[in-house]
Structure 1
Amino acid sequence: MDVLLELRDVRKSFGATQVIKGLSFSVNTGEFVGVIGPNGAGKSTAFGLIAGHLRSDTGSILFDGDDVTSLGADARCRAGIGRTFQVPQPFAGMTVFENALVAATYGAELTGRKASFAAHDAIDRCGLSDVRSSPAGSLTLLQRKRLELARALATSPRLLLLDEVGGGLTDSEVAELLQLVRGIHSSGVTVIWIEHLVHALVSVAERLVVLTEGSLLADGKPTDVINSKIVRETYLGEELAMEEEVPPLSPPSTVGGAHAAD
C-alpha cells in the first residue's frame, strides 16, 4: 500500500511552549486513522501543520511523495488535503449551495458547470439536499457539521482531516455522522479523524493513534491501543468504562451518486 502522508520529526512551538515535539508517523492511501489524546496533546495543531494553516518550525511533511512543508493551506488543498474544523464557521448569510460552491471554486479551482456539479454532489452526499437553498446561518448543529463535511468534499480531497465533528451532538446524531463518514471512506477517501468519543472511533477506524504532550504515545489496531497499559494510565484511565455505546450502525449507504445539473 502506498504512503499518502508522512510526517518526519515535525516540531512546532508557540513562544516558549513546544506543542509538537518531534512527531513522526505515516498514513497509507485508503486508511481510516483515528486520533485521540487529552486536551492540549497537540491534535488540532498537528492537523493545522498537515493542512498548511500552520508552519512547522522543523521537520518535513510529505504528501503523495512530494515535500509540501513550505506550501500554504491553499496549495495543499488543491493538492488533495481537505479539512473540517471543530467549530463550523460557514458563511452564514450564504446558502448551503453557495458555501459548497465557494469550496469547489477556490479549493479545487473548478469553474462553471464543474464547480456547480462538485458543490451539488457534495451536498447530496452529506444529506443536505433539502436545505441546499437555505441560509447556512439557519441550520441546526448537525446540519452545520454536515455542511462542514460538504465544503471539504467539494474540494475533491484524497485525504480528509476531521477535527471532532462529533462534538456537541447526541448519540443518535453521532451515529448518523459515523454512517456518513464511513461511506465517504468507502468511496476511496483516506480519513484521519480526531475525536474525544473513543467508542465512536473504534467502531469505524482501522488504526488508532494516541498523542500526548505533542508526541506519539501509541499507534496500532484500535483494540490493542485502548487496551494497552500505557494508554490507559496516561490518557484513558476509567474513561472508556464510563462511556455509553453509540447506537448500532446499519450497513453503510452508497455514497457519491451524481446529481443532475440544475
Structure 2
Amino acid sequence: MFKKRISVKKIMFTAISAMALVSCSTSKMNNHSKNQKSMKPVYEIAINQAKDGNVENFLNTRAKFVDVLGKEENTLNEGKWQPFFTVDESLKLDEILVGMTHWNSMQGFGETAMKLLPQQVSKDYFASFNPLAYGLLETVDGEPFDMETIKKQGNVIEFAIRKGKTADAFGAKREAFFKSLEKYEGYKFAREFKFYELGENGIPKLAENTQAVIIVWENSEQFQAAANPIFGSQEYADFANLIEVQSYFATFATK
C-alpha cells in the first residue's frame, strides 16, 4: 500500500515492439549458458488497458493468445488479476488487467517471443490494448516463486513497482515496514522482485534502484480494515518517504 501520489510509468515501447526487440537481441545474450535448467526463471508482468474501451475485444484476443502461449515449453504458468483499487482515479479499472507469465529463463522468453510475434493471434492481441506498465521480474532473494500462491480466488493481491529515492531505500526502513504488516489480520506474505525494463536496444536491463513487490491478503474485508492504520503508521511514513511509486493496483485473481 502506498501514498495516493502515483503516476503510471510511461514505458518506452508497446508490448509488441518490446518483445520483438527482445527476440531479435536474445542471441547476443550470454551464449555461455545454454542449459536452461541452470538459468534463472523470470516473471513477465504486463498491466494493460483495453484500447478505446473495447473490453470484449481485449479479453477475447487475450484468451486466444494465452491459449497459444500456454502450449509453449518455455512457459511454466500464467495468470491474470482484475484491479479493484488504485490511487489514480482517472483509470477505468474495469478496462484493466494485470497479467503475469512465469518463464523458465530470460532466454526462453526471447525465443518464444521470436516464434509467436509473427502469428496473427499475437498481432490481434497486441493491437487490442494500451500498455500501462511492463517488465520482467526476478526474485530478490533468489528463491523460487510459485505463482499459484497468488491465484486463489478471493485473496487480495497488491502489485506495485517502486523506485528508490536513496541508495538504502529498500534496506532497514523497508524491512521495518513489511515486518509491521505481520500484526494485521489477513496479511499473508510479500515478495520482492528485481525489475528489468527494456533498454533502447530492446535488451532487458536491471532498472536502477527499482523493485516490484507482490503483497497478499486473505480477503478484501481484512485488506480494507488494515488500510487506514497502515497508512497512518510511522513505519509506512518512513518507508514511503524513500520511494517513488511508479505503478500500483490492488486486485483479485480472475479466470
Q: Comparing both chains, which one has the higher relative contact order based on Cα–Cα distances under 8 Å and sequence gaps of 6 or more? A: 2
TM-score higher than 0.5 here?
no
Q: TM-score, normalised by structure 1?
A: 0.29
Considering fraction of residues, name the structure with more strand.
Answer: 2
Q: TM-score, normalised by structure 2?
A: 0.30
